[in-house]
Amino acid sequence: MDMKPVIVVHGGAWAIPDNLAESSKLGVRDAATCGFSILVNGGSSLQAVEAAVQILEDNIAFDAGHGAVLNADGEVELDAIIMDGKNLAVGAVSCIKNIANPIMFARTIMEQTPHVMLTGSGANKFAEKMNIEKVPTEELVTENAIKEWEQYQRYKQSVTSLFNTERMHDTVGAVAIDSMGNISCATSTGGITNKMVGRVGDSPIIGSGAYADNFTGAVSTTGHGESIMKVTLARQVLFNMEKGESPQCAAEHALEYMKNKVHGRGGLIVVSKSGEWAASFTTKRMAWACAENKILSYGLNPGENFQEKINM
């Protein structure tokens, strides 16, 4: 098979504050460009989504890896998932600490264990066994994350009441199709500020935070995790496509459904088995970028679609 490779990435939904707008746009463009160069050089979609998400985890503009938000105890607990649409192999981690690139670890779980997800201290124990590098919490925590956390503490605001503020920055994800027609997805997050200790959101949950199946396509989501889980948002998009909807319609309908059914907002990226793609959101903003045919498209505000040539 000789498919046209495509990668789409997101840097999270919600109201990305103006002071993070430029770095968010730059971050998703870098990640999409890197993933695309892997694809055009014959790499697999799995390699491309892992590399793109790793770049976003290393970028402090985003709530994943470095830059992750803090839980109620002021600690970092990370969630991630990676899925291979060729054989529905999947690896996920939840509530892990002191690991800078949870997506790499999720892939290790997918490839080196008979399980789908490891959590908490057991996951950290397995990371040690697999020689996954451990980093001190302080290395992952940014000034922004501390400021945001202090604000919650000061005003004792609930997680939901602050969900639409200017301060939120967010989860990262990627979906891709390679020249062999194989489709993959990856999502990684620090969750939501001031979450209860031990809270796990949608991101590492198969069918909610992500899903990939060569038969239809791949999705990575972001937004209010409790709502996303209730409607299994990622799988919902693919169900819509299996009924004949385009990726754009399928995405819009699934997000609309979540809004009507559970009053939840969010965003998502999707790629289909024929390389059609969409980036859609019902929040104020979502940083996204797509690379295909040596063209990089990207946006942050509703309706935005900037384009530039990829020099490679």
- Which of the residues 33, 108, 142, 171 is marked catalytic? 171
3-state secondary structure of 307: strand
**Alpha carbons 253 and 255: distance in angstroms, whole number:** 5
Q: Which of 202, 213, 252, 292 binds ligand ASP (CB under 6 A)?
A: 202
Which of the residues 9 through 48 are near ligand ASP (CB under 6 A)? 12-14
Q: Which two tokens stand for residue 21?
A: 């707008």
List 59, 222, 272, 280, residue binding ligand ASP (CB under 6 A):
222
Kindly tell me which of 43 and 223 has the beta carbon lying closer to ligand ASP: 223
Map residues 143-172 to x or -, x wherever contact with ligand ASP holds by CB under 6 A. Answer: ---------------------------xx-
Q: Report the candidate in 59, 101, 62 with the shortest Cα–Cα distance to residue 78.
A: 101
Among 203, 214, 216, 282, binds ligand ASP (CB under 6 A): 203
Does residue number 192 form part of the binding site for ligand ASP (CB under 6 A)? yes
First-to-last alpha carbon distance for the chain, in angstroms, is 24
The answer to whether 67 contacts ligand ASP (rule: CB under 6 A) is no
DSSP state of 244: T
Work out whether 93 is an interface residue with ligand ASP (CB under 6 A): no
Could you write out the DSSP letters of every residue in 124-188?
A: HHHHHHTTPPP--HHHH--HHHHHHHHHHHHHT--TTTTTTSTT----EEEEEE-TTS-EEEEEE
Of 124 and 188, the one with the shorter C-beta distance to ligand ASP is 188
In the complex, least distance from residue 63 CB atom to ligand ASP, rounded to whole angstroms:
7
- Is residue 221 among the annotated active site residues? no
Please state the closest distance from residue 291 (CB atom) to ligand ASP, in A: 22
Residue type for position 253:
H
Q: What number of chain residues touch ligand ASP (CB under 6 A)?
A: 15
Question: How would DSSP label each residue in 177-230?
Answer: E-TTS-EEEEEEE---TTPPTT---STTSBTTTEEEETTTEEEEEEE-HHHHHH
CA distance 295 to 275: 14
Interface region with ligand ASP, contact rule CB under 6 A, candidates 6-14, 116-124, 149-157, 244-252: 6-14
Residues that bind ligand ASP (CB under 6 A): 12-14, 170-171, 189, 191-192, 201-203, 222-223, 225, 228
Active site residues: 171
